[in-house]
Amino acid sequence: MSRSVTARGGHTPYEWGMVAVAQMSSSPSHLTKVVVHSAGGHDHLKLETAPIPAPGPGQVSIDVRAIGVNYADTIVRMGLYASAKEYVGWPITPGFEVSGTVAALGPGVTDLAVGAEVFAVTRFGGYSSRVVVDRSQVFRRPACASFEQAAAIPAVYMTAWYALFELAHPRPGAKVLVHSAAGGVGGALVQMAKIAGCEVVGVVGTSQKIATAKAAGADHVIDKSTQSLWREARRLAPDGYDVILDANGVATLRDSYRHLRRAGKLVVYGFHSMMPKSGGRPNWPKLALDYVRTPRFNPLDMTNDSHSVLAFNLSYLFDRADLLAEGMAQITAWLDAGKLAPPPVVTYPLADVARAHADIESGKTVGKLVLIP
Ligand SMILES: NC(=O)c1ccc[n+]([C@@H]2O[C@H](COP(=O)([O-])OP(=O)(O)OC[C@H]3O[C@@H](n4cnc5c(N)ncnc54)[C@H](OP(=O)(O)O)[C@@H]3O)[C@@H](O)[C@H]2O)c1
């Protein structure tokens, strides 16, 4: 059974405020999920019901209380997300992270109890009232995070942890520039770079986001809407940056590389400047042009410049149980110790998924958007 969900555009989540939570009714035998049958706009997000699957060996079934929305989910919907095509194809249920309680355990899972409060990463499929995932993707919910906050943490904080501590390894005192510093991953990067003892410059696209980037711990915030990004970046770090974290893609990649100091590292983890801020569908000529214009870094130049370019997509790493265990143990320890805080969240009923997508695509949101099934 399926029905369409529509976007009511023109409002940011904070204008809407904390949206009242509407519980979708799902019988014990059925789940409710968002399904995308083919690439498209917001009208391609369909709400459907399906029988609840039993967990297989080594798997955990989670009764989902909240679902983190990621910018990448919108690219999945548009049919442009490579790992979604590789692992799932069509139809697909988007969603990389959830929180909830353990509903059932598959054979061989003995270290979790039914009813345990958890959060988890999902390689797609998270937009659902019930998910089944491998045990290695499930973690104890930190006491400091509500279910809504917990759903906004695992994929996003793992992305930030991997970028900073597996790839960049900033030293204390390092100058770190974080683009989109008031967003989901950006806010986590700012917080973690401060834990690492770095001096952090956050870049935001609108003045309303300055306070969020500062609250995450940024020492300086550059507001691209009122300031010249790279002039201000040079003023704050005349010798260049030790680390720059860039998910803009073509709009800033070349300049990010140029503003590294010797031994500096550019971590590339997204390309959102290729995407539309409204309408929900790609602008194909712009996309093609941006693809052609995306810099290709030359190893000869990189060697002479002593600059590194590092890149990754976490969705390809979810079966790396060693990385997940290490990263999530560190993240949970920091949360428990109060060194790391959950992000600010705004909730939407699952039925309003189209509005959540329109809002995150608008580029106006701060913190994390969370769906409540
Ligand atoms: N590689 C990975 O494993 C991985 C994992 C998670 C996320 N990501 C990527 O990280 C980025 C952030 O993801 P998120 O979920 O945390 O989203 P988010 O930062 O909460 O929201 C996206 C932000 O990107 C900027 N933006 C959006 N559309 C834009 C456009 N067309 N042109 C320029 N800037 C635009 C806006 O911030 P400003 O205007 O303030 O810059 C916007 O608020 C995305 O590119 C996502 O794909 C990658």
User: What does the pLDDT look like over 41-69, one tens digit per residue?
Assistant: 999 999 999 999 999 999 999 999 999 99
pTM of the full structure: 0.93
Whether 94 lines ligand 1, by a CB cut-off of 6 Å, is no
- Residue 289 CA to ligand 1 center (angstroms) comes to 20
Q: What is the pLDDT of residues 100-156, one digit of tens each?
A: 999 999 999 999 999 999 999 999 999 999 999 999 999 999 999 999 999 999 999
How many beta carbons lie within 10 A of that of residue 263, not counting itself?
12
Whether 312 lines ligand 1, by a CB cut-off of 6 Å, is yes
Q: Measured from the CA of 274, which atom of ligand 1 is nearest?
A: 31
Please list, in sequence order, all residues whose beta carbon lies within 8 angstroms of the beta carbon of residue 369, skipping any fewer than 6 positions away.
13, 68, 69, 345, 346, 347, 348, 356, 359, 360
| Class of residue 338 by CB neighbours under 10 A (exposed 0-12, middle 13-18, buried 19+) | exposed
Q: Measured from the CA of 273, which atom of ligand 1 is nearest?
A: 32
Whether 95 lines ligand 1, by a CB cut-off of 6 Å, is no
pLDDT of the residue at 28: 72
Please list, in sequence order, all residues whose beta carbon lies within 8 angstroms of the beta carbon of residue 50, skipping any fewer than 6 positions away.
30, 31, 33
Q: From 180, 293, 345, 360, give the residue whose CB has the most ligand 1 atoms within 8 Å, as the site to mutate.
A: 180
* Residue bearing tokens 């400047």: 273
Whether 344 lines ligand 1, by a CB cut-off of 6 Å, is no
- Residue 185 CA to ligand 1 center (angstroms) comes to 8
Do 247 and 212 contact (CB within 8 A), yes or no? no
- Residue 273 CA to ligand 1 center (angstroms) comes to 8
Whether 209 lines ligand 1, by a CB cut-off of 6 Å, is yes
CA distance 287 to 62: 38
- Residue 361 CA to ligand 1 center (angstroms) comes to 9
Whether 165 lines ligand 1, by a CB cut-off of 6 Å, is no
pLDDT of the residue at 16: 26
Reduced 3-state DSSP string for the chain: CEEECCCCCCCCHHHHCCCCCCCCCCCCCEEEEEEECCCCCHHHCEEEEEECCCCCCCEEEEEEEEEEECHHHHHHHCCCCHHHHHHCCCCECCCCEEEEEEEEECCCCCCCCCCCEEEEECCCCCCECEEEEEHHHEEECCCCCCHHHHHCCHHHHHHHHHHHHHHHCCCCCCEEEECCCCCHHHHHHHHHHHHCCCEEEEEECCHHHHHHHHHHCCCEEEECCCCCHHHHHHHHCCCCEEEEEECCCCCCHHHHHHCEEEEEEEEECCCHHHCCCCCCCCCHHHHHHHHHHCCCCCHHHHHHHCCEEEECCHHHCCCCHHHHHHHHHHHHHHHHHCCCCCCCEEEEEHHHHHHHHHHHHCCCCCCEEEEEC
Whether 248 lines ligand 1, by a CB cut-off of 6 Å, is yes
- Residue 368 CA to ligand 1 center (angstroms) comes to 11
Whether 272 lines ligand 1, by a CB cut-off of 6 Å, is yes
Q: From 70, 210, 266, 320, give the residue whose CB has the most ligand 1 atoms within 8 Å, as the site to mutate.
A: 70
Whether 363 lines ligand 1, by a CB cut-off of 6 Å, is yes
Whether 141 lines ligand 1, by a CB cut-off of 6 Å, is no
- Residue 247 CA to ligand 1 center (angstroms) comes to 6
Per-residue pLDDT tens listing for the chain (373 residues): 344 443 333 333 222 222 323 333 344 789 999 999 999 999 999 999 999 999 999 999 999 999 999 999 999 999 999 999 999 999 999 999 999 999 999 999 999 999 999 999 999 999 999 999 999 999 999 999 999 999 999 999 999 999 999 999 999 999 999 999 999 999 999 999 999 999 999 999 999 999 999 999 999 999 999 999 999 999 999 999 999 999 999 999 999 999 999 999 999 999 999 999 999 999 999 999 999 999 999 999 999 999 999 999 999 999 999 999 999 999 999 999 999 999 999 999 999 999 999 999 999 999 999 999 9
pLDDT of the residue at 341: 98
